[in-house]
Amino acid sequence: MHTTKLVILGRDGILNEFREGHVTAPEEWLPVPGALEAVSRMNHAGWHVVVATNQAGIGRGMIDMSAVNAVHQHMNQQLMLQGGRVDAVFFCPHTPEENCDCRKPKPGLLLEIGRRYATDLSVVPMVGDTLRDMLAAQAAGCEPHLVKSGRAAGLDADAQQQLLAQVPATRVHADLGAFADFLLQRDHITDSSVGALA
Q: What's the whole-number average pLDDT of the chain? A: 93
User: What's the mean pLDDT in 58-72?
Assistant: 92
pLDDT score for 20:
85
- List the chain domain ranges: 6-197
- For 147, list phi and psi in degrees, rounded to 5: -110, 140
Indicate whether 196 pLDDT > 80.
no
Yes or no: say if 102 and 53 are a contact pair by the CB < 8 Å rule.
no
The confidence band for 107, taking pLDDT boundaries of 50, 70 and 90, is: very high
User: What's the mean pLDDT in 15-23?
Assistant: 91
User: What's the mean pLDDT in 125-137?
Assistant: 97
pLDDT score for 50:
98
pLDDT tens readout for residues 137-164: 999 999 999 999 999 998 999 999 999 9
CATH superfamily entry for domain 6-197: HAD superfamily/HAD-like (3.40.50.1000)
> pTM for the full model?
0.93
The confidence band for 4, taking pLDDT boundaries of 50, 70 and 90, is: confident
Indicate whether 1 pLDDT > 70.
no
